[in-house]
Amino acid sequence: MRRFSQRNSLVTLSDINITPLLDLAFVLLIIFVITTPLLEHNIEMTLPKGGRPDRPTTSKDFLTLEVGVRGMYVLEGKPMNLPQVEDYIVKSAKSNPNLVVRIRADKSAIWDQVFQVADVCANNSVKVSFRSEPKGTR
């Protein structure tokens, strides 16, 4: 019995304590989970179901236009009216021929205003992508 207890006292501790590292990783994860939706969406809305999840793309080819429930427009994070949206899209289309306008409209939005923007894009040969929630989310 004595030999066993003597061996135990000579054993060195070779474990690394990773608890502080895990705490830091969880805090960073929580921060990113909370801030990511705030950076992407400017208007609180419920998108209709359907479509596929996003594919990886370059950000310079896309403009995001949001149409709220009351028909207000937010283009690239800035509130605008329809003539301002049209001017911005026309200028952007001249500088980038691969431009695609992503339209995010609340499912309770006034759809006449959504189609007015789609007409502006069609008249200026700009592609339109309507955004929706993929099935099975929320």
Q: How large is the angle between the packed helices 82-95 and 111-123, nearest 10 degrees? A: 30
46 located within any domain: no
- Half-sphere exposure in the Cβ direction for 62 (13 Å, CA): 15
Identify which has the larger pLDDT, 47 or 42: 47
Q: Say how many domains are in the chain.
A: 2
95 located within any domain: yes
Q: Answer yes or no: are the C-beta atoms of 45 and 66 closer than 8 Å.
A: yes
Residues 61-101 have pLDDT tens digits of 888 888 888 878 988 888 988 899 999 999 988 888 888 89
47 located within any domain: no
Of 68, 73, 120, 69, which is closest to residue 99 (Cα–Cα)?
120
13 located within any domain: yes
Instruction: Give residue 81's domain range.
Output: 59-130
137 located within any domain: no
pTM of the shown model: 0.55
49 located within any domain: no
Q: Are residues 28 and 80 in the same domain?
A: no
Contacts of 22 (CB under 8 A, 6+ apart): none
Q: Are residues 63 and 126 in the same domain?
A: yes
